[in-house]
Amino acid sequence: MRLLVTGATGKVGQAFLPAFLSNPRFAEWNVVALCNNRSLEPGPRISVVKGSVADPQIVGKALEGVTHVLHLAAVKETPDQAIDVALKGLYLLLEGFSRSAAKQQFMLLSGDCVVGHIFHGYSAPITEQSPRRAYRGVYALTKVLEETMVEQFGIQEGLNWTTLRAPWIMEKDDFRYAMEVGPDQFGGPPWSAMMGADDLDALRKNRAIPAMRDGRDAYLKRSFLHVDDLVNAMIAALDNPAAYGELFNVAMDQPVDYGALAGILEASGDRQRRDIPTPFHSNWLDNSKARMVLGWQPEIDVEGLVERAWSYRRAGNDPRIIWYPG
């Protein structure tokens, strides 16, 4: 078997490859990594194709002899690159792979931006049958189109496809920096958009814990997932006939409650919460289908996210990397 991985040098790709290569189920498999801006060192079971996923010749070369594709490559709010990677690149991969006699499964990593996560409200947990409702911006739009394109290739070409839809993915100390109010904040929304400069300055001086409240004045609930749990879901879905033609939400069993999170952080030190009103919606990405069909279960809950993020210490050769803006 031969697995093509795009985005192999990104956050998810770097976590996936060691787990995949060390898994006995895939001991006879080889990997082709399609790399563009960053690259990997080739190894006994890894070969590298260098170039853009939007280049037909590069994609054709990368697909030679490939039985499975794992498409992780993504960019955020950069429209020219997003169109190339998310639309042209994905089309080239799907078109080339569908014509291959070796094809077995195409797997896409998607995100809960497809359902608008905190930007749109839902009256019930968000399942795979919930309507796609992207928030504003090219990234969410292209993810909706990606999911649709993959499904349509299944209908038109009989392609075995699988889509995993993940929420905000955490690794290392990401979760800690998502709760920071200083210049090192990871992700959004930027606190400067939530409050005036004086309030933000006071928040920073007091090292307060930002506890967002939703549009109904309850503490905001948002889905997260640790990258290790995502990798386990990918391993469970790969080469699994039960996953063919299926979309799966892969998220923590419960969303993170910002009030409960603030309580955990208050109890662990001398910091105090600061409630921040927002217009956002509390939502719950339901993972029941992945648990039942794939036999997958996330292992890391909110306490685990906190423990891992606050205990993580970076070595000198392990700088913080923001894989994409936003």
Each residue's pLDDT tens digit, 88-101: 999 999 999 999 99
Average pLDDT over residues 53-69: 96
* Residues paired with residue 273 on neighbouring β-strands, in sequence order: 209
Whole-Å CA distances, 291 to 46, 109, 222, 247, 305:
31, 17, 19, 13, 20
The band of 324, judged by pLDDT with boundaries at 50, 70 and 90, is: very low
Residue 325: band (very low, low, confident or very high) from pLDDT cuts 50, 70, 90: very low
What residues contact residue 109 under an 8 Å CB cut-off, 6+ apart? 7, 12, 70, 71, 72, 74, 163, 164, 166, 234
Share above pLDDT 90 across residues of the chain, in percent, rounded to a whole number: 72
pLDDT in tens, 232-245: 999 999 999 999 99
Among the ranges given (44-48, 181-185, 270-274, 318-322), the one the predictor scored with the smallest mean pLDDT:
318-322
User: How distant, in Å, are the alpha carbons of 179, 196, 219 from that of 277?
Assistant: 15, 12, 9
In 10 A of CB 196, how many CB atoms? 9
Looking at residue 194, what is its pLDDT?
82
Instruction: Fold for 2-170+223-249, please state it.
Output: Rossmann fold (3.40.50)
CA distance 218 to 137: 27
Q: What are phi and psi of 190, to 5 degrees?
A: -65, 135
Could you tell me the pLDDT band of residue 326, with boundaries at 50, 70 and 90? very low
Cα-based distances in Å from 208 to 18, 88, 160, 179, 307:
38, 44, 49, 9, 19
Q: What is the mean pLDDT of residues 188-211?
A: 84
Specify whether the CB–CB gap between 313 and 247 falls below 8 A.
no
**The pTM of the whole model exceeds 0.85:** yes
Q: What local confidence, expressed as pLDDT, does residue 214 receive?
A: 96
Q: Answer with the residue of higher pLDDT: 139 or 244.
A: 244
Mean pLDDT, residues 41-70 taken together? 94
Ranges of CATH 3.40.50.720 domains, the chain: 2-170+223-249
Q: What's the pLDDT at 322?
A: 60
Mean pLDDT (whole number) for 177-199: 81
Higher pLDDT, 267 or 292: 292
What is the rounded average pLDDT of the residues 71-91?
Answer: 82
Distance CA 224, CA 214 (A): 17
Query: What pLDDT does residue 77 have?
Result: 56
Does the structure show a pLDDT above 90 at 303? yes
Mean model confidence pLDDT for the chain: 91
Size of the chain, expressed as the number of residues it contains:
326
Across the range 281-307, mean pLDDT stands at 97
91 and 149 in contact (C-beta within 8 Å)?
yes
Q: Give the model's pLDDT for residue 200.
A: 85
pLDDT for 179 equals 85
User: What pLDDT score was predicted for residue 321?
Assistant: 64
